[in-house]
Amino acid sequence: MKRPAAAAACPAAAAACPAAAAASAAAPSAVAVVLALAGIAAGCGTSLPARGGREGRDAPAAQPSGDPRVESLLARMTLEEKLGQLTQLEGAWDAPGGPKIDDRYRAMIAEGQVGSFLSVFGADFTRELQTIAVEKSRLGIPLLFAFDVIHGFRTTFPVPLAEASSWDPAAVEKAARVAAVEATAAGIHWTFAPMVDVARDARWGRIVEGSGEDPYLGMVMAAARVRGFQGEDLAAPDTLLACAKHFAAYGAAESGRDYNSVDVSERTLREVYLPPFRAAVDAGVVTLMSGFNDIGGMPASAHRGLLDGVLRREWGFSGFVVSDWESVGELIDHGLAADRAEAGRLALTAGVDMEMVSKTYIRELVAEVRAGRVPMAVVDRSVRRVLAAKQRLGLFDDPYRYSDPAREKGRILTPEHRTAARAMARESIVLLGNQAGILPLAAADLRTVAVIGPLADSRQAPLGPWSVPGRAADVVSVLEGIRAALPRARILHEPGVAIVGGAGDGVVPRDAASRTGSDRSGEDARGIARAVRAARRADAVILVVGESDTMSGEAKSRADLRLPGRQLDLARAVIAANRRTAVVLMNGRPLAIPELAAQAPALLETWFLGVETGNAVADVLFGAASPSGKLPVTFPTTTGQEPLYYNHKSTGRPGDDKVVWSSKYIDAPLQPLFPFGHGLSYTRFEYSDLSIGPQAPTARDTLVVDFALRNAGGRAGVEVAQLYIRDPAASATRPVLELKGFARVELQPGQTRRVRIEVPVAMLAFHGADMRRAVEPGEVQVMVGASSADLRLRGVVRIGGARMLVDDRSVFSRASIR
């Protein structure tokens, strides 16, 4: 793309920036925010607005909620009661006999000192606590019960990263809907999901909770999940408040270490990390969670530039923000606040409406408000937002509507929910390799099958992280699924080895010694010989290896992405013993497994698929379904390549393994093991006949990309066709590829269909040299293919007209299939 004729010079003076000028006219208190944004935008060295007025005196004026019920309550509330509404306390979800709360919290409810609980559920228990709030507290304001309903409730669905592998937003929306139906039946009003953090580093354990590395796929999935949880009508008793988390850029933790600091440019923040949040906001998400992390010197839970500037002023968000667990109290550990009073003051005035767990608001802010250090208007503003959410859920009309034991009995783990979980699980499986063409296995030929590996008969691991109400007893293990699919075959089972690290089935816990390499537990290889004997006797082998469910998720960063323990030795031996071995991976992040990928006759990525794991894996292994998943994350060849992602910049010396002075490694290949978007099928797809129009669109037009897709193989299948663009010359450097659309296309053998993907040109906007988001005129390359590294069709358009500023409201492409 050509440089814009009128690229703005460094707007050292605020007046040079029209956005700043406009904002300052509209809202004087936002001037600091906008000017600082404009400053960094222009590369002038100013940082993203940090804290604004440290004492909160220049906080924006409170907006009346407009709701007479909320206003009348607010008028009657004492300061303590107001701060109570902004306080969320924790329950013990894992207490024997079901969730419990600290007894002292009951008195706090009666005194109006709590607005919400997290990790409390169950129709009877939530009813009991709600009764205290409604009948014993002075104003009878109902409590809001929150919980991490991340991938299903009792019917555990695939982990979010797996669901994203389906590239099927309709199915993902349905999964969230099922979760909402079950969770609300257990008294829950609010889920801390979706997690929409883009993650480019597989060492980060929480990569499992999101939709992977791509901002556009992340936007699509964020919006789908918000729609699924919140449904059409929040007042319906089976809809949940959703919560987009962790605002913002938590996934960019340095070196992939959880909770670590983040230092990203404002361009990367706005183009990579913020878009899924914006999509959640545009889909109507009612709450956001502020992150644990520091971003360039300002912790996210005190980041006024983000919480007030970007979220409220730029995006018009009108819901409320909750902190992460103790992230307000942790402002002291960050080195931002000197004491708890300052921590609470900084968070609330920055825009964190509700505080999770650390209790600085309820304990410290009465004095701060009385001393004039926190304006009452700031407190009122947050209280209005929280009460408005309670009102939208219908809790003022019927505080017990979610706590219904009959509904709880009838609507949890129903056969329909299990069917939906099985369909979602099947779609989430990615066929990484099928070199020997051994899949699908013909069930009729199999008299003896060996099912090997430490995860083969695990009912715990398939639940994955964040599956608290999920029960291992509900899970169909891979072994059980295979037994059910092959009722006449003889099934041999050998775990082979244990997994080192984490906890759970087949796992040897790591102790402190093992981190220094001196612990040899879990390295017991005697089981390998037994596994080899079983493999030799079998017509085919299913080898299930990977990570335990406790090796990914929060605080589960890994510095080594290889298969843990002796699993590779097991795989080598088993594959050597029987070439008809299908390797089934179960894990929560991309793994560095080049040798396994080269040797495995077939390799399936199944992530953690939830309660229907075994059935879904059997559906794919034996050909009842052809795999259709595509990777939402890049797999590295070696851990040292991380962070690794397809939409990187070109550099001035684009990497080439054969060119010495290029951007590469001397001791590792440049290429990933499996690229973003990769995923095979049991059939073959041919792409042809690309047309793109109009050839010279303006920024207001929509590109229509049309092509033919043929199933050239002998089985029915689904292809996820992907559309990427590249802008080869722009006023700021652009990624080598950017996903802008995709289509899931079902094709019978021999069938050809035409696929049309409509891409509004506004989707090609980016933050140019002046950091203003615009569509720039000039050439854009358009590519269509089966993955980011398997591009089959290429075309070019030339965007005409003048450079056009475009705001960052979410815009999506649309696929249609004929």
Per-residue contact flags (x/-) with ligand BGC for residues 363 to 382, judged by CB under 6 A = --------------------
Least Å from the CB of residue 489 to ligand BGC = 43
CB 357 within 8 A of CB 325: yes
Q: Does 474 bind ligand BGC (CB under 6 A)?
A: no
| Range 484-503, binding ligand BGC (CB under 6 A) | none
Concatenated DSSP letters of 712-774: -SSS-EEEEEEEEEE-SS-SS--BS-EEEEEEEEEE-TT-EEEEEEEEEGGGG-EE-TTS-EE
| Range 684-713, binding ligand BGC (CB under 6 A) | none
Among the listed residues 173, 214, 324, 619, the single contact to ligand BGC using CB under 6 A: 324
Q: Which is closer to ligand BGC, CB of 238 or CB of 554? A: 554
Q: Taking the CB of residue 595, how many other CB atoms lie within 10 A of it?
A: 13
* Residues forming beta bridges with residue 322, ordered by sequence position: 289, 354
CB 672 within 8 A of CB 777: no
Least Å from the CB of residue 554 to ligand BGC = 5
Residue 785's closest CA among 728, 733, 716, 726?
726
Concatenated DSSP letters of 606-658: -----TTHHHHHHHHHTTSS------SSPBPSSGGG-S--SS-B--SS---TT
Q: Which is closer to ligand BGC, CB of 81 or CB of 326? A: 326
Least Å from the CB of residue 291 to ligand BGC = 8
Q: Which residue has the tokens 């002292």?
A: 104
For 546, the token pair is 């990977």
Q: Which is closer to ligand BGC, CB of 195 or CB of 573? A: 195
CA distance 27 to 371: 27
Q: Which residue is nearest to ligand BGC (CB)?
A: 192
Phi and psi at residue 450, to the nearest 5°: -100, 130
Least Å from the CB of residue 356 to ligand BGC = 7
Q: Which is closer to ligand BGC, CB of 162 or CB of 300? A: 300
CB 34 within 8 A of CB 19: yes
| Range 541-570, binding ligand BGC (CB under 6 A) | 554
CA distance 111 to 118: 18
Q: Does 258 bind ligand BGC (CB under 6 A)?
A: no
Q: Which is closer to ligand BGC, CB of 206 or CB of 767? A: 206
Q: Which is closer to ligand BGC, CB of 20 or CB of 118? A: 118
Q: Which is closer to ligand BGC, CB of 302 or CB of 439? A: 302
Question: What's the chain's length in residues?
Answer: 818
CA 660 to chain centre: 38
Q: Which is closer to ligand BGC, CB of 250 or CB of 687? A: 250
Catalytic residues: 324
Among the listed residues 81, 148, 201, 380, the single contact to ligand BGC using CB under 6 A: 148
Say which residues have a Cβ less than 8 Å from residue 697's Cβ, sequence separation at least 6: 703, 761, 797, 799, 800
* Residues forming beta bridges with residue 695, ordered by sequence position: none
Least Å from the CB of residue 118 to ligand BGC = 6
Least Å from the CB of residue 227 to ligand BGC = 20
Q: Which residue has the tokens 């990309």?
A: 705
Per-residue contact flags (x/-) with ligand BGC for residues 783 to 812, judged by CB under 6 A = ------------------------------
Least Å from the CB of residue 239 to ligand BGC = 19
**3-class state of residue 697 by DSSP:** coil
Least Å from the CB of residue 292 to ligand BGC = 6
Let me know the angle formed at the C-alpha of 526 by 523 and 532, rounded to the nearest 5 degrees: 115
Q: Which residue has the tokens 């990928």?
A: 597
Least Å from the CB of residue 551 to ligand BGC = 17
Say which residues have a Cβ less than 8 Å from residue 520's Cβ, sequence separation at least 6: none
Q: How many residues bind ligand BGC (CB under 6 A)?
A: 7
* Residues forming beta bridges with residue 685, ordered by sequence position: 711
For 387, the token pair is 């009460």
Concatenated DSSP letters of 383-425: HHHHHHHHHHTTTTT-TTTT--HHHHHHSSS-HHHHHHHHHHH
Q: Which is closer to ligand BGC, CB of 118 or CB of 279? A: 118
- The two beta strands, 804-805 and 243-247, are unpaired
Least Å from the CB of residue 288 to ligand BGC = 12
Least Å from the CB of residue 596 to ligand BGC = 31
CA distance 342 to 344: 5
Least Å from the CB of residue 668 to ligand BGC = 32
Q: Which is closer to ligand BGC, CB of 157 or CB of 685? A: 157
CA distance 30 to 20: 9
Q: Does 192 bind ligand BGC (CB under 6 A)?
A: yes
Given phi > 0 = left and psi -120 to 50 = alpha, else beta, which region is 783? beta
Q: Which is closer to ligand BGC, CB of 26 or CB of 92? A: 92
CA distance 616 to 699: 44
Least Å from the CB of residue 146 to ligand BGC = 8
Q: Which is closer to ligand BGC, CB of 245 or CB of 385? A: 245
Among the listed residues 325, 676, 682, 687, the single contact to ligand BGC using CB under 6 A: 325
Among the listed residues 151, 245, 303, 772, the single contact to ligand BGC using CB under 6 A: 245
Say which residues have a Cβ less than 8 Å from residue 629's Cβ, sequence separation at least 6: 162, 165, 166, 167, 427, 428, 429, 430, 431, 605, 679
- The two beta strands, 490-494 and 448-452, are parallel
Q: Does 118 bind ligand BGC (CB under 6 A)?
A: yes
CA distance 216 to 202: 19
For 766, the token pair is 């980016």
Q: Does 117 bind ligand BGC (CB under 6 A)?
A: no
Site residues for ligand BGC per CB under 6 A: 118, 148, 192, 245, 324-325, 554
